[in-house]
Homo-oligomer: A and B are copies of this chain.
Amino acid sequence: MQLQFGKGGGLLPVIIQDAGTSEVLMLGFMNPEAFEETQRTGEVVFFSRTRNRLWKKGEQSGHVLKLREMRVDCDSDALLLRVDAIGPGVCHEGYRSCFFRRIAPDGVATIVEARRFDPVRVYARETMP
Query: Contact residues of A with B, CB < 8 Å?
Result: 1, 7, 9, 13, 15, 17, 21-24, 26-27, 39, 42, 49, 69-75, 78-80, 91-93, 95, 98-103, 105, 107-109
Contacts and interface: CB of A to CB of B under 8 A. Distances in A.
B7 A49 contact: yes
Contacts of A95: 74
Contact of A1 (B7, B22, B49, B108): B108
A71 B102 contact: yes
A72 B101 contact: yes
A9 B9 CA distance: 10
A116 to B, nearest CB: 13
Contacts of A100: 71, 74
Nearest to A119: B74
Contact of A27 (B73, B93, B98, B102): B73
Contact of A74 (B1, B78, B98, B103): B98
A92 B74 contact: yes
Given A39-B107, A109-B1, A24 B80 contact: yes
A98 B70 contact: no
